[in-house]
A and B are shown apart, each in its own frame.
Chain A
Amino acid sequence: MLRYLGRRLLQALPVFFGATLLIYAMVFLLPGDPILALGGDRGISEALAEQLREKYNLDKPFIVQYLLYIKGIFVGDFGTTFSGRPVGELLTQAFPVTFKLAIMALALEAIFGVGFGLVAGLRKGKIFDSTLLVISLIVIAVPTFVIGFLLQFFVGIRWGLLPVTVGPNVSFTTLLMPAIVLGAVSFAYVLRLTRTSVSENLTADFVRTATAKGLSRPRVVTVHVLRNSLIPVVTYLGADLGALMGGAIVTEGIFNINGVGGTLYKAIQQVHAPTVVSFTTVLVIVYIVANLFVDLLYAALDPRIRYA
């Protein structure tokens, strides 16, 4: 088991460096000189510009900048924005909000996706199943922002059930609608995955053996069918956390959430490399950690993996 985890960790390292390097390179290629942009309309003296460039390491070759930056991360120094704020501060402000949002979305999609998927898989071909299938298709086909607007309009404005924007009040109620919107597409995928998994396992040999033992149907379904069907679903859910956090940008825009998405968007437009790269780095770390966690969970759920 330890060997298995160790191997996974080793595989995660090149992913970490590769991804951060890639992002750093991409940001490096962004057009525009950020220092000149700082000066705004008044322009900026060459000497001052030189000084600033040196301060932010912008005069050094690319690879050196990258390595300096990585070194910085390991001591917790994420750099400073051009307006003087440490990027770390931006991180601690933005990430918890997005994290809460993503966790809520994950919980919703897990509970409802698995729940409905189980019923659909059990009643494959019947009305309930067909209805759910159509709903899941529609949810995937309609873009997140449209769902966002529609929900905001009807649930928020017309019917006044939930708050329309979040802003500074981050709480369960305010985040509920955004979480639903964010998790909608994933909910559809989880539902379909569970449904397929369940209907496949229903015809598995070991399920027949379990029934032949004299077990009641509810027990066969929960202990044998569901338990085995969960394995691919869990894998998907784990990978989804990173995707949710990284893809929340649209939802955060619609509901005015001061999270990762909004901050990142502004930083890209300002061409502030440290902010873009540190935020992306943390996202990559979240993705890697979530995957490692999923691997652990997978080994817990499937004993065959533990000895691989």
Chain B
Amino acid sequence: MRDKLDRIDRPDQSHFFASLDDAVLDEVDVVDETAAPASLWQDAWRNLRRRPIFWVSAVLILSAVVLAALPGLFTKTDPMFCELTRSLDLPEPGHPFGFDKQGCDIFARTVYGARASVVVGVLTTIFVALLGSIVGAIAGFYGRWFDSLLSRITDIFFAIPLVLAAIVVMQIFKQYRGILTVVMVLAVFGWPQIARITRGAVMSVKNSDFVTAAKSLGASRFATLVRHVMPNALAPIIVTATVSLGSFIVVEATLSFLGIGLPPDKLVSWGADIAKASRSLRDQPSILFYPSGALALTVLGFIMMGDAVRDALDPKARKR
């Protein structure tokens, strides 16, 4: 033991205390009633509002949605109406992007192409989010053999490359090609990712004290899962779903590019247009630009939104 008696008394270490004016004492642990109440979502929203990347992506997404919903507002031309006589004509009033090799109005096709991408993206994401989160939640929450079985099934679907499976399935349903078939294909092979994320989130939340508290109140396991665990596991699901939306749009474009996506005689797809444009790359490279640009901007919007939402929901950013 340090011998405290053997000490030299130094003047600058003598007993000092601050006056009360310098250090005003508060009551212990008082609630700050001045601030407005804010749940985590409200906090996140405030955080989100301040990020420029959120606004940029919101504009991009909104534009795509408006184009998809109300294409007639932007162009009166029928995108399917193609006259070979107008092949590769330059832009003119009413047709700002000019004409492609088949004589179709590029501007009209760009505008109408939004619908396929947005609808496929949104529908697929909804299915994938529902299916994936249910499977992941059950696997993560109930554990044991539920988890083993569901995880193996998830692994099986993960092991098969998405594009490959899509090619085979689209070939099977050759006669029924349309938006719904594409959505089904993407959803059936795209759900594993959300399932994994959900499983992880659920597993980390289920051991929290507030879940145990609900259990000791007598709440049933299922009620606990739905009322306590899932709301707290939502954040990563939302982020992944938003980013996945973007990647589903890309996959649809890829399938249409390969010629096995949406039927080109019935629907306009940016992917198919890019395929067409690629064939005349040497003559008129600029035709490639419009559908590619539109596609890229739409996907960019969703992915940026996913990034912004992830940063806003980051618990480290919310330290109190």
A-to-B contact residues, CB < 8 Å? 11, 14-15, 18-19, 22-23, 26-27, 29-31, 137-138, 140-146, 149-150, 153, 157, 242-243, 246-247, 249-250, 253-254, 264-265, 268-269, 271, 276, 280, 283-284, 287-288
The reply to whether B296 and A26 form a contact with Cβ atoms under 8 Å apart is no
CA distance A82 to B155 in the complex (A): 33
The reply to whether A268 and B167 form a contact with Cβ atoms under 8 Å apart is yes
* A287 partner residues in chain B, CB cutoff 8 A: 158-159
The reply to whether A265 and B167 form a contact with Cβ atoms under 8 Å apart is yes
The reply to whether A280 and B160 form a contact with Cβ atoms under 8 Å apart is yes
The reply to whether B299 and A140 form a contact with Cβ atoms under 8 Å apart is yes
Residue B226 CB within 8 A of the other chain: no
CA distance A149 to B152 in the complex (A): 38
* A243 partner residues in chain B, CB cutoff 8 A: 161
B74 to chain A, nearest CB (A): 22
The reply to whether A141 and B299 form a contact with Cβ atoms under 8 Å apart is yes
Interface centre among B153, B168, B292, B304 (most CB of A within 10 A): B168
Given contacts A18-B152, A137-B304, A149-B278, contact A142 B296 (CB under 8 A): yes
Given contacts A19-B159, A153-B285, contact A146 B274 (CB under 8 A): yes
The reply to whether B168 and A27 form a contact with Cβ atoms under 8 Å apart is yes
* A242 partner residues in chain B, CB cutoff 8 A: 159, 161
* B303 partner residues in chain A, CB cutoff 8 A: 137, 140-141
In B272-306, which residues have CB < 8 Å from any A CB? 274-275, 278, 281-282, 285, 288, 292, 295-297, 299-300, 303-304
* A142 partner residues in chain B, CB cutoff 8 A: 292, 295-296, 299
Interface pairs A-B: 8 shortest CB-CB: A246-B161, A18-B156, A141-B300, A141-B299, A19-B159, A142-B296, A146-B292, A15-B155
Residue B164 CB within 8 A of the other chain: yes
The reply to whether B159 and A288 form a contact with Cβ atoms under 8 Å apart is yes
* A22 partner residues in chain B, CB cutoff 8 A: 156-157, 160
Residue B250 CB within 8 A of the other chain: yes
Residue B267 CB within 8 A of the other chain: no
The reply to whether B300 and A26 form a contact with Cβ atoms under 8 Å apart is no
With beta carbons under 8 angstroms apart, the residue of B156, B172, B258, B297 that contacts A15 is B156
Residue B102 CB within 8 A of the other chain: no
* B296 partner residues in chain A, CB cutoff 8 A: 138, 141-143, 146
Given contacts A18-B152, A149-B281, contact A284 B160 (CB under 8 A): yes
* B156 partner residues in chain A, CB cutoff 8 A: 14-15, 18-19, 22
* A247 partner residues in chain B, CB cutoff 8 A: 161-164
Query: What residue of chain B has the Cβ atom nearest to residue A283's Cβ?
Result: B161
* A15 partner residues in chain B, CB cutoff 8 A: 152, 155-156, 159
* B175 partner residues in chain A, CB cutoff 8 A: 31
CA distance A268 to B59 in the complex (A): 41
CA distance A140 to B167 in the complex (A): 22
The reply to whether A143 and B253 form a contact with Cβ atoms under 8 Å apart is yes
CA distance A63 to B254 in the complex (A): 33
CA distance A157 to B282 in the complex (A): 9
Given contacts A26-B172, A137-B307, contact A246 B163 (CB under 8 A): yes
B160 to chain A, nearest CB (A): 6
Residue B112 CB within 8 A of the other chain: no
B56 to chain A, nearest CB (A): 11
In B184-215, which residues have CB < 8 Å from any A CB? none
* B171 partner residues in chain A, CB cutoff 8 A: 30-31, 268-269, 271
Given contacts A246-B161, A284-B160, contact A23 B250 (CB under 8 A): no
The reply to whether A14 and B307 form a contact with Cβ atoms under 8 Å apart is no
CA distance A268 to B255 in the complex (A): 14
B135 to chain A, nearest CB (A): 15
The reply to whether A26 and B161 form a contact with Cβ atoms under 8 Å apart is no
